[in-house]
């Protein structure tokens, strides 16, 4: 059953990489983190952004975090020290990717929080569940207070674009000075990612714990035995998340509404996606499952390759598409790159080509 669980979660991770790729791709193409999209985009481009953001905004990180927690528990029989060392090795490679390729990367935070969660591997599941409940309560309290403090509709509640930062990002990422890109990547990571370490404990760690709890209850078996009920649960989570995300669209740049959508609607949506992918992993044809499972098993390598390809396509030293293509064009590019990565994953696995995963202490094939 352990091997089945691991292949099942590899399928989920392989499919989830596509949503993470779209999340990254939109930041490779436009400076999303320093603009109010409802002020920056107009016409059909705004509509396309709203559609994409409604389905992935705030949902990608919880989805990956839940999957990480679930995968983490499949290594429970290994020594925690070995698992932690494996995660440290992964963090090393991801940080290299962050510095040289993509400063907005969310994976360093997920891996760091996974290292903390690995300390709980041998503890009773009730302690893990209580930890999830405690952090989730803090999440509700802290982020709820932020929303109440900002107040819907108040004059200071609207997010405004930072034109200076937009121009700076455009000139650096669109320019030919690669060393300037590295410098900005480091600055972005320190400011937008590492600077949010406190929020990681409230917006990442709880979902890793949730994934660990779901593995304890063998959610894959529960889905198989109660398919109809689990479909209803997944549909309810996804529908609820989208309904909350619609509030952000209607607010047109409200800080409170955006916070509410990202920190409350996003996790609902991410949990719904996780359940839906578990369902898909049980009932899709075997060859399709194997295709995505291979991508999940080689996920670290393929993810870094994806970021490298996107740097070549979008940044100045390469083809310089940063700020030059529409959102839907970016999505199509991501889809094409992801499809190529799926093929690459199958080739790497079939011919047993050594990848970054084999450098870890814990062999994923065990």
C-alpha to C-alpha distance for 121 and 124, rounded to whole angstroms: 8
User: What share of the chain in percent tops pLDDT 90?
Assistant: 69
- 347 alpha carbon, distance to own chain's centre: 25
Q: Do residues 132 and 201 lie in contact, with contact meaning Cβ atoms separated by under 8 Å?
A: no
Tokens of 150: 């900002």
pLDDT at 160: 63
Residue 166 pLDDT greater than 90, yes or no = no
pLDDT at 2: 40
- Residue 103 pLDDT level (bands cut at 50, 70, 90): very high
CA-wise closest residue to 115 among 85, 142, 149, 92: 85
Mean pLDDT on 110-132: 96
Residue 228 pLDDT greater than 60, yes or no = yes
pLDDT at 102: 96
- Residue 131 pLDDT level (bands cut at 50, 70, 90): very high
Tokens of 14: 């392989």
Mean pLDDT on 245-270: 86
pLDDT at 249: 83
- Residue 279 pLDDT level (bands cut at 50, 70, 90): very high
Dihedral, 170, 176, 182, 187 alpha carbons, nearest 10 = -30
Round the average pLDDT of the chain to a whole number and report it: 89
- Residue 358 pLDDT level (bands cut at 50, 70, 90): confident
What letters, b where the CB count within 10 A reaches 16 and e where it falls short, cover 305-340?
bbbebbbebbbbebeebbeebebeebbebbeebbee
- Residue 364 pLDDT level (bands cut at 50, 70, 90): very low
- Residue 4 pLDDT level (bands cut at 50, 70, 90): low
Burial class (CB in 10 A: 0-12, 13-18, 19+), 198: exposed
- Highest mean predicted confidence (pLDDT) among 80-84, 92-96, 154-158, 251-255: 92-96
Look up the pTM and report it: 0.93
pLDDT at 191: 84
pLDDT at 3: 41
Which ranges constitute the DSSP H helices of 30-158?
Answer: 37-40, 43-56, 60-73, 80-100, 107-118, 125-150
Q: CA angle, corner 201, sides to 200 and 206, nearest 5?
A: 110
pLDDT at 257: 81
pLDDT at 34: 81
């Amino acid at each position: 059953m352990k091997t089945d669980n691991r292949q099942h979660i590899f399928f989920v991770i392989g499919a989830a990489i596509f949503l993470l790729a779209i999340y990254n791709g939109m930041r490779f193409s436009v400076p999303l983190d320093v603009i109010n999209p409802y002020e920056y985009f107009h016409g059909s481009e705004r509509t396309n952004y709203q559609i994409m953001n409604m389905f992935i905004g705030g949902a990608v990180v919880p989805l990956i975090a839940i999957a990480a927690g679930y995968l983490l528990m499949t290594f429970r029989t290994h020594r925690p020290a070995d698992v932690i060392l494996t995660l440290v090795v992964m963090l090393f490679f991801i940080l290299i990717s962050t510095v040289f390729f993509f400063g907005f990367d969310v994976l360093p935070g997920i891996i760091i929080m996974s290292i903390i969660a690995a300390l709980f591997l041998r503890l009773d599941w009730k302690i893990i569940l209580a930890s999830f409940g405690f952090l989730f309560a803090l999440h509700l309290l802290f982020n709820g207070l932020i929303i109440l403090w900002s107040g819907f509709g108040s004059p200071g509640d609207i997010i405004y674009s930072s034109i200076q930062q937009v121009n700076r990002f455009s000139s650096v990422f669109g320019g030919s000075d690669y060393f300037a890109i590295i410098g900005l990547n480091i600055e972005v990571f320190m400011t937008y990612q590492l600077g949010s370490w406190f929020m990681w404990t409230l917006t990442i760690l709880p979902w890793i714990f949730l994934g660990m709890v779901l593995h304890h209850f063998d959610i894959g078996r529960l889905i198989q035995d109660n398919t109809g009920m689990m479909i209803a649960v997944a549909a309810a989570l996804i529908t609820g998340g989208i309904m909350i995300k619609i509030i952000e669209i209607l607010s047109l740049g409200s800080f409170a509404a955006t916070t509410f959508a990202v920190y409350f609607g996003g996790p609902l949506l991410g949990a719904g996606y996780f359940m839906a992918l578990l369902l898909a992993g049980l009932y899709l044809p075997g060859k399709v499952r194997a295709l995505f499972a291979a991508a999940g098993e080689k996920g670290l390598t393929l993810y870094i390759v994806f970021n490298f390809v996107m740097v070549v396509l979008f940044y100045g030293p390469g083809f310089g598409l940063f700020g030059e293509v529409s959102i839907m064009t970016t999505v199509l590019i991501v889809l094409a790159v992801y499809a190529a990565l799926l093929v690459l994953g199958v080739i790497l696995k079939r011919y047993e080509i050594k990848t970054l995963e084999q450098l870890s202490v814990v062999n994923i094939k065990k």
